[in-house]
């Protein structure tokens, strides 16, 4: 029988090595304890970053002091909750200063006591003693080896090197080295995950020495938020951006408008939100849009705005009834995927002037922050063009040339603003519309669709609904009448069940079944959160930790260095730990397992 001391050491070691999510490319850890507190000297390319709250070890003073700031020359002022200077021009130093502030705050202020990760009632026996001599993390040396460019802060896929190297020695010295400031942010996130809160308050790690090398598998790693079916207040979008960054995701795709509402303020066309928003105040002003973009860029996240066209456009009928066909059409199931219906009148000469005015207003405000603009294109219902006085038929021979003309003109507007168009897969795959080589296609219909698209040479991001639609499997949101319809639709499942559990999300390989040439065209993916039954109350639990599972697939890859699929036995303990970190940081993520399982010492405690 193992002694208590040996058992405690074993349990501490088993628990500690769970530490990082998503799993780095390589990681080596030890079993030495280090503590960390306010007295932490941080340098960035030689400049000092100090805690001014440190009383025992204040910022070391150099010989020269800046008379304007009162700070030592070359020293970077550092405080909790530091907010970097805003955009649209961004500074590498400001980006890193903000990252350091958030990372140390997460370590010292928003950490957690890992009692759920130890066997029942064993926490006090396994966490480090407060009464033994302590070694501290004394300095964090950050080195950026490359120079950021404008592309760093509004990148196309592949424009930014997000790799980093991290070390933490038993002597208390930590280092992060990265090519870009974005890589520095990724390294700071990993650094923050090495530490726990002691049950008596202090912060520690038992992993020293640490050596990590890390880089992402995919360039496009995102979350799709639908803010049109249900409005999301700004603080919920900001919180989601924070969680995206913690998970080393790097894209937020905002589905900004749909047939249900138009919350986006367009100063050149104010009637759109004045008549299309759900209520007064449930809109995003130009200032809000810039703030969302800025908040994201400061965290290494790029926001991609989508205005879906030519379908999912019904709400515009409230302000421009002469541009929309099918608004209020019945039965809706004949004319659209869900109520209310409404599509652009494709052959109306007023359409071009409307979109010129809309895009001339919006795109210049987006272009300083993002390299992409999503033009939509999904679920265009040809039956609805029977109702269009400018078309009058559902014949594809008539409609497809009109779609081609519309997409050509619309994508020309996007390119004129210096942006790259994105579309849903139906545009090239279902409607046979020709698109430019620069266009990125978002696929949601499954692996066969991805193989077909990449086989035709299209660049693709995947949102395969069979795995990565997080709204699925939660039941029907439509009301069902008693009688025949009731019987036919019982037990009232939605169209895309089952629920996409984190295990199903984690099992998906975006490049499965593709040739090497086809796989190279898969830039990454996004998990989707369509908002028929999602709002600010349940948003966190819908997204996390299932979005985290996709985050590891996209950052680390579905397979390990040996080419073997990463297992739930490896993922579950680390994901359960990371979920506790998200809770401590203010995101109400769902449990991974019950506490009995996380306290089991290893992942086989709860297994089949």
User: Active-site residues: which are they?
Assistant: 379
Q: First vs last Cα of the chain: how many Å apart?
A: 27
Candidates 139, 135, 110; CA nearest to 197 is: 110
Q: Residue 564 half-sphere exposure, CB side, CA atoms within 13 Å?
A: 5
Q: Which DSSP string corresponds to 76-89?
A: EEE-TT-----SSS
- Nearest-angstrom CA–CA distance, 246 and 304: 19
User: Residue 311: left if φ>0, alpha if ψ -120 to 50, beta else—which one?
Assistant: beta
The residue with tokens 């089949």 is: 608
Name every residue whose Cβ is closer than 8 Å to that of residue 309 and which is 6 or more positions away in sequence: 344, 355, 375, 376, 377, 406, 410
- Token pair listed for 51: 């805690």
> How far does CA 429 lie from the centroid of its chain?
26
Two tokens at 197? 């809160």
Q: What is the largest CA-CA distance in the chain?
A: 86
Q: β-strand 343-344 against 372-374: which pairing, if any? A: unpaired
- Which pair of tokens denotes residue 208? 């020293």
Burial label for 318, CB within 10 Å (0-12, 13-18, 19+), is: middle
- What sign has the CA pseudo-torsion 381, 383, 386, 387? negative
Element (H, E) at 333: helix 332-335
DSSP symbol at 267 = T
Q: Tell me the C-alpha distance between 494 and 499, whole Å.
A: 10
> 346 near 392, Cβ under 8 Å?
no
C-alpha span between 166 and 498 (Å, rounded) = 40
What backbone phi and psi angles, to 5 degrees, belong to 411?
-70, -30
């Amino acid at each position: 029988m193992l002694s208590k001391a040996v058992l405690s050491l074993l349990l501490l070691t088993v628990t500690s090595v769970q530490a990082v999510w998503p799993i780095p490319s390589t990681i080596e850890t030890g079993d030495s304890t280090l503590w960390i507190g306010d007295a932490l000297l941080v340098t960035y390319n030689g400049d000092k970053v100090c805690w001014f709250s440190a009383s025992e070890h204040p910022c070391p003073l150099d010989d020269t002091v800046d008379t304007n700031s009162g700070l030592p020359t070359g020293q970077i002022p550092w405080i909790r909750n530091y907010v970097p200077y805003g955009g649209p021009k961004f500074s590498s130093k400001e980006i890193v200063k903000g990252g350091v502030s958030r990372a140390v705050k997460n370590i010292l202020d928003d950490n957690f006591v890992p009692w759920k990760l130890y066997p029942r009632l064993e926490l006090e026996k396994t966490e480090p003693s407060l009464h033994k001599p302590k070694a501290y993390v004394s300095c964090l040396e950050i080195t950026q080896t490359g120079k950021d460019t404008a592309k760093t802060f509004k990148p196309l896929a592949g424009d930014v090197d997000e790799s980093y190297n991290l070390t933490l020695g038993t002597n208390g010295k930590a280092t992060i080295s990265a090519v870009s400031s974005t890589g520095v942010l990724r390294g700071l996130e990993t650094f923050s995950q090495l530490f726990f809160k002691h049950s008596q308050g202090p912060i520690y790690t038992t992993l020293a020495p640490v050596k990590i090398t890390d880089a992402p598998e995919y360039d496009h790693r995102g979350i799709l938020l639908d803010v049109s079916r249900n409005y999301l207040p700004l603080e919920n979008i900001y919180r989601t951006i924070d969680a995206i960054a913690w998970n080393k995701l790097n894209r937020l795709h905002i589905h900004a408008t749909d047939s249900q509402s138009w919350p986006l303020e367009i100063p050149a066309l104010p009637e759109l939100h004045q008549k299309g928003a759900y209520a007064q105040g449930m809109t995003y002003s130009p200032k809000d849009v810039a703030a969302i973009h800025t908040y994201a860029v400061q965290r290494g996240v790029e926001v991609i705005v989508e205005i879906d066209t030519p379908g999912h456009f019904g709400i515009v009928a409230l302000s421009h009834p002469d541009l929309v066909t099918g608004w209020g059409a019945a039965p809706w199931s004949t004319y659209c995927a869900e109520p209310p219906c409404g599509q652009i009148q494709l052959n109306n000469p007023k359409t071009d002037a409307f979109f010129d005015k809309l895009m001339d207003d919006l795109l210049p405000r987006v272009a300083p922050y993002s390299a992409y603009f999503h033009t939509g294109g999904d679920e265009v219902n040809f039956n609805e063009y029977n109702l269009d006085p400018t078309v009058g038929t559902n014949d594809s021979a008539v409609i497809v040339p009109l779609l081609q003309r519309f997409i050509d003109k619309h994508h020309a507007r996007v390119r004129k603003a210096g942006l790259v168009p994105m579309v849903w897969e139906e545009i090239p795959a279902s409607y046979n519309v020709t698109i430019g080589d620069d266009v990125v296609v978002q696929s949601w219909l499954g692996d066969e669709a991805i193989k077909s698209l990449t086989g035709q040479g299209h660049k693709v991001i995947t949102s395969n609904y069979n795995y990565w639609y997080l709204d699925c499997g939660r039941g029907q949101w439509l009301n069902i009448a008693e009688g025949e319809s009731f019987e036919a639709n019982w037990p009232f499942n939605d169209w895309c069940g089952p629920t996409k559990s984190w295990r199903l999300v984690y099992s998906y390989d975006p490049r499965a079944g593709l040739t090497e040439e086809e796989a190279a065209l898969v830039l990454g993916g996004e998990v989707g959160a369509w908002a028929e039954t999602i709002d600010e109350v349940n948003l966190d639990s819908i997204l996390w930790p299932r979005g985290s599972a996709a985050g590891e697939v996209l950052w680390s890859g579905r397979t390990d260095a040996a080419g073997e699929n990463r297992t739930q036995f490896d993922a579950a303990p680390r994901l359960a730990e990371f979920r506790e970190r998200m809770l401590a940081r203010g995101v109400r993520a769902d449990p991974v397992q019950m506490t009995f399982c996380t306290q089991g010492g290893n992942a086989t405690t709860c297994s089949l």
